[in-house]
Amino acid sequence: MNENQNPAAIEMRDVSVGAMRDTSFTVVEDVNWTVASGEFWVIAGQQQSGKSDFLKMTAGLMAPVKGSYKLFGNETRTFGEAELPERLRLGFVFEGGQLFNRLTLGENVALPLQYRHNLTAAAAAQEVESLLDLMELAPLADVTPANVAADWLQRAALARALVLKPEVLLLDNPFSGLGARHLQWSLRFLDRLWRGHEWLGGKPVTMVVTTDDLSRLAGWRDEARRFALLKDRRFTALGSWSRVEASNDPVVKELLAVPLAATM
């Protein structure tokens, strides 16, 4: 691959990340990280390790405290309204969904499409319905988030991020609290997105997923995916699954053994 013609999707050099609530408090320091198009990264870390803040910074919701962060080869510090279409090549799924409570699930999914492309609800309906069908959300299309179980909210949030057909998808702890059925569905669906889903025209999606429980990622334990660890304000690239399993880091071991510890 020629790097000049096809820059990395995400490129960070000496980046430090502040907390979303108080950017004067640094949660992750000196990150050097490159995500090439088509890669699949899993960032593991304990609760309060700064995963969400790190991912929100990566999504462009806040600026890095220091360092250089390039998204699709463009320095994000200069991102403004004019560069919005470029930034929307990246989709973000919040932990818990963070859906709009006054809108139904269908309206939640339709809103970004309608707003970005100035479509009426009727004009957006066909595309939204096909996405809801794909994600088995059609029966819940007219229900507001307060009346839907958390598993489905997470799925609706994924649909809302996908409706703009992003090239890079960031998911903040998407498996937290999911039941076994939803977990298996999510693992399979995200894997299909990464490999190229027909809904996105078969184009592979670059994925970055954070988790606080590596033991739930059965099915993702292969050499194709990249793993990283956030610990003590440091970002460490671990490598493939075999390197994760071989790691002597106590935090990695703890993240792998969460269910065991929980039953003790």
Partner 1 sequence: MRGNPAKAFELTNTQVFRRAALPKSYTDLLGRKLFLLLLTIQGLGAFALITLGVMLKKTGVAQNVMGPRIRQEIVRAGVALMPMFMFVAFALGFLVIGQTVSALARVGATDYLGSTMVIVVVRELGPLLAAVLVLARVGTAHVIELGTARAMGEVEALEALGIDPVHYLIVPRVWGMMAGIFSLTVYLIIGALGSGYLWAFLQDVPLTPGDYFKQLTEALGWLDFALLALKTVAFGFFIAIVACYHGLAQPLRLEEVSRVAVRAVTQGVIVCLLIDALFIVLYLVA
Question: Could you say whether residue 92 binds partner 1 (CB under 8 A)?
Answer: yes
> What is the rounded CA–CA span in Å between residue 115 and residue 147?
25
**Residue whose CB is less far from partner 1, 79 or 199:** 79
Question: Could you say whether residue 176 binds partner 1 (CB under 8 A)?
Answer: no
The dihedral region occupied by 239, where left means phi > 0, alpha psi between -120 and 50, and beta the remainder, is left
Say how many C-beta atoms besides its own lie within 10 A of residue 166's C-beta. 18
Question: Could you say whether residue 21 binds partner 1 (CB under 8 A)?
Answer: yes
Longest dimension (CA), the chain: 55
**Cβ(121)–Cβ(110) below 8 Å:** yes
> What is the rounded CA–CA span in Å between residue 36 and residue 20?
26
Residues 191-210, one symbol each (x = binds partner 1 by CB under 8 A, - = not), give: --------------------
CB of 231 to partner 1, least distance (A): 25
Of 33, 41, 72, 94, the one binding partner 1 by CB under 8 A: 94
Question: Could you say whether residue 114 binds partner 1 (CB under 8 A)?
Answer: yes
CB of 232 to partner 1, least distance (A): 26
Report CA 9 to chain centroid distance, whole Å.
14
**Cβ(235)–Cβ(49) below 8 Å:** no
On the CB side of 127, CA atoms within 13 Å amount to: 20
CB of 3 to partner 1, least distance (A): 25
CB of 93 to partner 1, least distance (A): 9
Residues of span 44-73 touching partner 1 by CB under 8 A: 56, 59-63
Which residues of this protein are in contact with partner 1, per CB under 8 A?
20-21, 56, 59-63, 76-77, 79-81, 84, 87-88, 92, 94, 96, 98-102, 111-112, 114-116, 118-120, 123, 160-161, 164
